[in-house]
Amino acid sequence: MTGRHTFVEARRNLRRLLDGADHADAVAQFTLDWRGFRVTGLDEAVCSAAAEVAEQTGARTPDALHLAAALQAGEAKLVTYDRRLGEAAERSGLTVVAP
């Protein structure tokens, strides 16, 4: 499960890291993969929860949105490479898995 804003974040990072054919191939693969994700919107409940998460953990806005989406969906684990997001997730009671 992931929040809808993950699509924007992933595409931004693909552009930041890749160019030319590598970028085009990565975007095509990500677009296919995205269809298999369970995606939650950023509705009022998620955004309100994100504001609380940000206040309680000091998480940055995008990270707070990720955490709130996971918490609202009843997830117990969060997969991330991002140290700060992982620390905020642990403070929110989620188990962090670093691939």
- Whether residues 89 and 51 fall in one domain: yes
Per cent of the chain over pLDDT 90 is 79
**Cα(24)–Cα(90) distance, integer angstroms:** 35
- Whether residues 59 and 92 fall in one domain: yes
What DSSP character marks residue 94? P
**Total count of domains within the chain:** 2
- Whether residues 75 and 32 fall in one domain: no
User: How far separated are the first and last CA of the chain, in Å rounded?
Assistant: 16
Position 60 confidence tier, pLDDT thresholds 50, 70, 90: very high
- pLDDT of 13 over the 80 cut: yes
Q: Which domain holds residue 74?
A: 46-97
Averaged pLDDT, 17-25: 98
- Whether residues 29 and 50 fall in one domain: no
